[in-house]
Chains A and B, each alone.
Chain A
Amino acid sequence: MNVSQHMSDKARKHLKSRYAKERRFRFYGLSAVLFAIASLGWLLLSLFATGLTAFQEHYVTLEAEMTVSAFAPPDQRSVETLRIADYKSIVENAIEAKFPDVRTAGEKDLLFALISESGATDHLRKRVVRNPDIIGSKIVMTVPTSDQVDQLLKGHIDRNVPEARRQISDQQILWLDDLRARGAIKKKFNSILFFNPDSRDPELAGIASAAVGSVMIVIIAFILALPIGVGAAIYLDEFAPRNRLRDWVEININNLAAVPSIIFGLLGLAVFINIFGFQRSIPLVGGMVLALRAFPTIVIATRAALRSVSPAMVDGALSLGASHVQAVFQQKVPQAMPGILTGSIVSMALVLGETAPLLMIGMVAFVTEIPTTVTDPATALPVQIFLWSESPERAWSERTAAAILILLAILMTMNALAIWLRSRLGKRR
């Protein structure tokens, strides 16, 4: 019995090189996996590194003398007049009180620039409107520092670069250190980021208006896309005659799911705004456009869910004298519901993250108010992120990253909900 040629030395050597190739191939595969995971990790890490600091903000505590002369005489005090009182001088006096040595106008301006002017005046304004009795008294107020100061204190602005290269002067830094030493500056949770509308000033900017806009868009898209998507899927799967037209519609829907989203923006601009005459920048149009964007994915998810239901259920119902429509709606659809809901939630996550179509229909605007109806001008969270990311002040980039983190948290929650729903409802079968 001669030894097999596979056992020869030559064969063994060949085998060795084959295994080297095998290992290399496997290594490429592993590298690809690691590359993808590392990219994701890098992305998240850079977002956290940039954005986490935005969840806290520096506030300065001042004592403000609510001088009577800054307000309208008592007999003319109404909400309107209280709102337009001279809060600026009160704030200026309050900060100057901390540094009695500062005399020149130029220095006073620099000093005043340490705090958020708009933030401080508006803080006072709101307090006075709520309680006019504080006029004439001395109150303690805690207001945001200006964005530059905040960035400096967080270490995002390097104190050591030449003065010309930073927007904050050496003198201001000295004052700040002094204030800090006196305990007047504190770092607190940045509630402004969550509850304020957009603002010109980074330290006062929040996502509230954009978030409300996004919620409206998602709700409208959901209300429109769910019936359309589910209805179309049921029709195609259950009632449509099997012919070329149906194939055509099916390809059409699959294609729509893959059409670039910006095209839907063009559709919305041309049809909803120019032909139907809807206003620009309103969540109603945004919701309608994104409903069109989302419904093909709902159709696809629904059809997959319908197909996973055992045909025995329909047979059972039919054999009891249920009509086809009854069998479908009473047996098949309820059982496909977990799948349908999961698909819908996933597609709503898609809607929530969509940006490009909204740019086309004018949802890139500076909106001062949190929208209350679907025809109020609004932006959406991703658009807000886009707008902020393009703003030059350094303070914006951390807020942009923070807004992204919030958006991602919402998306994760939605996806977790989808998974939970699937396992929860799926189990009852």
Chain B
Amino acid sequence: MEIIQLYTLLLIGVLSIGGFAYNRNVARASVRALRQSGPAETRWHSHPNYHGYLTGWSVALVGFGLFIIFNLVFPNQVALQTVSILLGTSLAGLLVFKKIAPAFPARIYTERFIKTTLLALSGLAILTTFGIVFSLIFESLRFFADVPLFDFLTGLKWSPQTAVRSDQIGSSGAFGAVPVLLGTFIIMAIAIGVAGPVGLMIAIYLSEYASRRMRAIVKPIIEILAGIPTVVFGFFALLTVGPAIRNLTDALGIAVPTQSALSAGVVMGVMIIPLISSLSDDVINAVPRSLRDGAYALGATKSETMKQVIFPSALPGIMAAFLLAISRAIGETMIVVMAAGRAANLTGNPFESVTTVTVQIVALLTGGPEFDSTKTLAAFALGLVLFAITLILNIIALRTVRKYREVSLA
């Protein structure tokens, strides 16, 4: 069956290229004939190629349209599909063929096709967002039919152990998202606590103090951190940082499990450093030089200029950078899955193991392909919460950052 589909697609491709070539040659020949027949100053509106392109596009459009329709509506009518595709595309080709004439604005039609295609492609962006929103909301609504939204958002207990069979006396399950959200928040706070000051100071150091050479070397090195897959950071947290923190705290007499909010948070912070440093760098560089000059001319030192003049004017942009970083930290998955543990402790203690929204989504959805237990749906509800939070953060941040980016471009 799949082979046949492939052949059909190939057929459509061949037909559209054939149509292109044929009609283009027809148009070419007519142009030539016209030119030889006399000095008539009639120009062809469109280059012969465009008559060809138009044919190719129409044939492909009709072909793929029929292909999609058949696959959706009459999935198994292979013969009918082939016949109608052959008929439909020939018709499209013929239609264009009939139109070939000096005055026919084939280029304009072709360009309209191109623009429409491009429009459709950018429409996919919206479609993706809609897809996300609808799939999250749809499944979440089913979840909220079981667990009231209010309980979900304010419940203090997270223990998603519902029965999978009717005769299983499992537990009623507790779907209070507070411990999960709290855990997410703790890890995010630790991560920002690391990445915020470090990233900001890096941006300041590189833009104010470092020599051009140092900047050229250091910047790409720090950017490497941004390119490392999160699963690698997770492994690092699990294998190296967690035990290191544990050894360190053992020496201090505190028992810290290797999977703790602290190790996940710290490693996540390291991962986010480049995000904050490069965004802050943009923002700091966007502060007009005249302000810097003004402060220097008054005898301010670099740090005074930075702290008292540049930083305050860059503050909104820096806040935006932080918001983006927060959004990133909240949505980060692999590090916490591997290094934060799964216990939904209602705690503010960074030394304990906590769980996050993303960890719970993974825990609830890996494995079980079944699709209507409250448990599975709970993952979508958590996903919705995650999406809503990050959406708000992103939009606020992106608006602000965009302003700075434009300033720095101007």
Contacts and interface: CB of A to CB of B under 8 A. Distances in A.
Q: Do A and B come from one complex?
A: yes
Interface of A: 6, 18-19, 21-22, 25-26, 28-33, 35-37, 39-40, 42-43, 46-47, 50, 227-228, 231-232, 234-236, 239-240, 249, 251-256, 258-264, 266-267, 269-271, 274, 280, 292, 295-296, 299, 323-325, 349, 352-356, 359-360, 362, 364, 375, 382-383, 385-386, 389-390, 397, 400-401, 404, 407-408, 411, 415
Contact of B327 (A258, A266, A280, A296): A258
Contact of B333 (A46, A261, A267, A364): A261
A267 B201 contact: no
B391 interface: yes
Contact of A232 (B114, B122, B330): B122
A323 B111 contact: yes
Nearest to A363: B366
B218 A43 contact: no
Interface in B366-406: 366, 369, 371, 379-380, 383, 386-387, 390-391, 394-395, 398-399, 402
Interface of B: 2, 107, 111, 114-115, 117-119, 121-122, 124-126, 128-129, 131-132, 135-136, 138-139, 197-202, 204-206, 208-210, 218, 221-222, 224-225, 227-236, 238-240, 270, 273-274, 277, 299, 301-304, 306-307, 324, 327-328, 330-334, 337-338, 358, 361-362, 365-366, 369, 371, 379-380, 383, 386-387, 390-391, 394-395, 398-399, 402
Given A18-B304, A232-B118, A39 B206 contact: no
Q: B interface, by DSSP: helix, strand, loop or mixed?
A: helix
Contact of B366 (A240, A359, A385): A359
Contact of B121 (A231, A356, A400): A231
A232 B231 contact: no
Nearest to A324: B111
A362 B114 CA distance: 37
B202 to A, nearest CB: 5
17 contacts: A25-B303, A33-B205, A33-B218, A37-B218, A40-B221, A40-B224, A43-B232, A231-B121, A249-B125, A260-B331, A262-B331, A262-B358, A263-B383, A263-B387, A295-B124, A355-B229, A356-B362
A21 B387 CA distance: 43
B132 A25 contact: no
A37 B218 CA distance: 8
A260 B138 CA distance: 19
Contacts of B210: 33
Contacts of B391: 255, 259
Given A249-B125, A397-B239, A355 B231 contact: yes
A404 B235 contact: yes
Contact of A29 (B209, B225, B365, B366): B209
A280 B233 CA distance: 27
Contacts of B2: 375
B324 A407 contact: no
Nearest to B358: A262
Chain A contact residues: helix, strand, loop or mixed: helix
B118 A234 contact: yes
- Most chain-A Cβ atoms within 10 A of its Cβ — which of B2, B200, B227? B227
B201 A31 contact: yes
Contacts of B358: 260, 262, 356
Contact of B303 (A22, A236, A264): A22
A360 B121 CA distance: 26
A251 B338 contact: no
Contact of A235 (B115, B273, B337): B115
Contacts of B126: 249, 252
Contacts of B234: 386, 389
- Chain A CB within 10 Å, residue with most, of B129, B209, B334: B334
A58 to B, nearest CB: 23
B118 A239 contact: yes
Given A386-B234, A404-B235, A29 B204 contact: yes
Given A33-B202, A47-B236, A266-B379, A236 B122 contact: yes
Contacts of B201: 28-29, 31-33
Contacts of B138: 270
A389 B239 CA distance: 9
B332 A40 contact: no
A266 B136 contact: yes
Contacts of A227: 121
Given A235-B115, A269-B365, A36 B395 contact: no
Contacts of A32: 197-202, 205
A271 B127 CA distance: 12
B394 A389 contact: no
A386 B331 contact: no
B303 A249 contact: no
A401 B238 CA distance: 12
A39 B402 CA distance: 30
Contacts of A385: 231-232, 235
B225 A39 contact: yes
B303 A262 contact: no
Contacts of A354: 229
Contacts of A33: 201-202, 205-206, 210, 218, 222
- Of A19, A258, A264, A386, most buried by chain B (CB within 10 Å of CB) is A258
